[in-house]
A and B are shown apart, each in its own frame.
Chain A
Amino acid sequence: AQTVTQSQPEMSVQEAETVTLSCTYDTSESDYYLFWYKQPPSRQMILVIRQEAYKQQNATENRFSVNFQKAAKSFSLKISDSQLGDAAMYFCAYRRIRNNDMRFGAGTRLTVKP
């Protein structure tokens, strides 16, 4: 079974600084999708970024970028120029190509200090 591990239950960062959230996953598949979701205190989840495993180029969305290391099965999220609004729970997720069973990590709670 595929599993997703987020080894950092909590992280904090100073406003305007950069922070990296870790995620590793376990799979025997060669092609799949990886995601980072953000859940602010209001609870509505938001998709932050998505990566297709067949793409070598790391996905980027404005201040959010990933470091996708396929051989190491690692998918970290980098947040640059952190803002107070980035404070949230962040979930890493994995999905096989052939079905809709997405596996989520346990989450990392990010605090942004002013």
Chain B
Amino acid sequence: DVKVTQSSRYLVKRTGEKVFLECVQDMDHENMFWYRQDPGLGLRLIYFSYDVKMKEKGDIPEGYSVSREKKERFSLILESASTNQTSMYLCASSLGNRVQPQHFGDGTRLSIL
């Protein structure tokens, strides 16, 4: 069974901390995505990666960075967490020739205090 695994379901951090959200997929997918999901706003793309070490900014990259050192792992980094980054974060992946995210993780609910 295909899987996108996010390391934490719930995470609580403090303002100013550096936060790492990890995502691993076991399907050898080229594309990986990070979204945040907020009520009334739907999903918004933060960053997208189409290959190892390659990344593209999405709709709301400010305050975030990403790392893709290995094909199966895509990390989202909050350089200095702020309260407005409290949200649900979803990781997704897809094959290189697929235009849409195919598989999503369960999400990480991040609270910044």
**How many residues of B sit at the interface, in one of the four size bands?**
20 to 34
CB neighbours (8 Å) of A91 from chain B are 42-43
CB neighbours (8 Å) of B106 from chain A are 42-44
**How many residues of A sit at the interface, in one of the four size bands?**
20 to 34
Which residues of B are interface residues toward A (Cβ below 8 A)? 31, 33, 35, 39-45, 48, 50, 56, 58-59, 88, 90, 92, 99-102, 104-107
Sample (29) of A-B pairs whose CB atoms are under 8 Å apart: A6-B42, A9-B40, A35-B100, A42-B106, A43-B106, A44-B105, A44-B107, A45-B101, A46-B104, A47-B100, A47-B102, A50-B100, A91-B43, A93-B43, A95-B99, A95-B100, A97-B99, A99-B56, A100-B33, A100-B48, A100-B50, A100-B99, A101-B45, A101-B59, A102-B100, A103-B59, A104-B35, A106-B40, A106-B41
